[in-house]
Amino acid sequence: MNKTKNKKLFMVVAVVLMVALVAAMGTITYSRYIVSSDLDPQQATAAKWGLALSANTSNFLSSDYSGTGLATPQAAGTGVAVKAANITVAPGTTGSMTITVSGTAEVRAQLSLSIAGGYTEISATTGGTTYKPVKWTLTKQVGSAEAQTLVNASEDLSDIADAMTSESAVIAANTACDTVYTLSWAWALETGADAAAIAANNKHDTAIGMYAKEANLTNVNTATGNTYTDIKPSFSFTLSATIQQIQ
């Protein structure tokens, strides 16, 4: 047997195996198992709003009337504010405005109507009695149904304010709205149960007219023969309507 050859042979085998060992240890292990799993895409739409408030004041006043401010809608969409400031009108005139709530929302909403803050009414006070010539009426019509009178010819704007507040309500989700509120005013040419009352009221109307022209109570009293302690020749108010989502 060739001992040198055998020795060499075994040395070669050992070296080969050591190289294989090092190579095996140095082999990079890579991840084989891979899996992906996706949830089916889930879709949703934003809930429709769709509710709108609008105000129409084109018939509230005439250009013939004087005043430092005219009633105009301040905003549209989800809220309107109708501001009437220092409106001076005359006997025998009338006017109206409408506030419309329309549309359908897929969310619950709150309708709020109010005559915010303070307001003034046309009036003349004498002998402890206050004469208010302007009469206010508020009606409500839902869809094509007959209009319902909420306030009928009241001399007190406070009745309108109370009725407005009462109309504030929750609108349930997915409820179709088509409601029109009509606020109208009227100053009759002559008012009174009898001739004497009519004559007295006419004198008050005259006093208001004089005071509107010249704010001088003394002169008014002298001219009319009445003792007026207070005269307000114009009316003013701010009507606010809003509609917003609630939870």
Partner 1 sequence: MSEPAQNGFNKQENGKAANERRHWVYIMLLVVIVFILLLMTLGILALRVENYLPEGTDIVFVVGKSPSVEFGDEKGSWKSGLDVDIFKSYYENDQQVVTVLSKEGDSLIAPGTQMQYYFIAYNKGNIAVTYETDIDFLFESAGQVKNDFAFPLKVRLKTDSGKYLIGGESEWVDISTAKVTKHVSVLGASSYEGFTLELIWAFEGGDDALDTMLGNMSASGGAKITLGIETYAEEHFEPTAQGGIVVEAEDGKPVEHGGTIRYFWLMLLFICIAILVFFIAWLLNKRLRKW
| Closest approach of partner 1 to the CB of residue 56, in Å | 21
Minimum CB separation of residue 226 from partner 1 in Å reads 54
Two tokens, residue 239: 């009507």
Q: What are phi and psi of 79, to 5 degrees?
A: -165, 140
Dihedrals phi, psi of 52, to nearest 5 degrees: -145, 145
Residue closer to partner 1 (CB basis): 48 or 213: 48
Considering beta carbons, is residue 21 or 147 the nearer one to partner 1? 21
Nearer to partner 1, 89 or 105 (CB): 105
- Cβ nearer to partner 1, comparing 35 with 196: 35
Q: Angle CA(242)–CA(246)–CA(247) in degrees, nearest 5?
A: 175
* Smallest separation (angstroms) from partner 1 to the CB of 114: 20
Q: How far is the CB of 98 from partner 1 (least distance, A)?
A: 22
C-alpha 74/C-alpha 121 separation (Å) is 22
| CB closer to partner 1 out of 142 and 176 | 176
Q: Name the residues that contact partner 1, by CB under 8 A.
A: 3, 6-7, 10-11, 13-14, 17-18, 20-21, 24-25, 27, 29-50, 77-78, 103-108, 172-174, 245-247
Report how far apart, in Å, the C-alpha atoms of 160 and of each of 99, 157, 166, 183 are: 14, 5, 10, 8
Minimum distance, C-beta of residue 73 to partner 1, in the bound complex (Å)? 18
Which residues lie below 8 Å from residue 20, measured CB to CB, with a gap of 6+?
A: none
